[in-house]
């Protein structure tokens, strides 16, 4: 109930703000300018979200271990559940999937570092 009242009050405040803008600047603003005002108002109320997919913790942990020198079966045992119970082909597939994810993470990290390095260097 309280949220509904707060939303109604917020709508009233938005209408009052819009009426004040139109009263003060109405004749000087065209449709395109008013659209820019609405966009600015919307961005204030609803800020943008962080872009991209959220990184998986499992892959982040495996990548960290890989960078610390853990390789082969030790890496697979600690990051692939049930590794010892899998047959040869399943192990091969799971290991390839994990290593592909680690290599992709490393490639993206290097690219991100290169972009940050070029952006921070004086031109």
Q: For residues 120 and 117, what is the distance between their CA atoms, to the nearest angstrom? A: 5
Q: Residue 1 has what pLDDT? A: 61
pLDDT at position 114: 87
- Other beta carbons within 10 angstroms of residue 101's beta carbon come to 17
Tens of pLDDT, residue by residue, the chain (123 residues): 678 899 899 999 999 998 998 899 878 888 898 899 899 989 988 888 888 889 999 999 999 999 999 999 999 999 999 999 999 999 999 999 999 999 999 999 999 888 887 877 665
Mapping DSSP onto H, E and C, the string for 62-117 reads HHHHHHCCCCHHHHHHHHCCCHHHCCHHHHHHHHHHHHHHHHHHHHHHHHHHHHHH
How many C-beta atoms lie closer than 10 Å to residue 86's C-beta? 16
CA angle centred on 117, ends 64 and 99, rounded to 5°: 30
Q: Model pTM greater than 0.75?
A: no
């Amino acid at each position: 109930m309280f949220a509904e009242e707060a939303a109604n009050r917020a709508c009233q405040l938005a209408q009052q703000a819009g009426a004040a803008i139109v009263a003060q600047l109405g004749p000087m603003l065209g449709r395109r300018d008013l659209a820019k005002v609405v966009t600015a108002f919307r961005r204030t109320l609803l800020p943008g979200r962080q872009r991209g997919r959220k990184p998986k913790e499992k892959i982040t942990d495996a990548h960290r271990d890989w960078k610390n020198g853990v390789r082969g079966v030790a890496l697979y045992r600690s990051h692939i559940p049930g590794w010892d119970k899998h047959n040869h082909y399943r192990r091969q597939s799971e290991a390839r999937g994990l290593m592909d994810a680690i290599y992709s993470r490393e490639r993206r990290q290097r690219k991100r570092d290169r972009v940050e390095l070029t952006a921070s260097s004086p031109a």
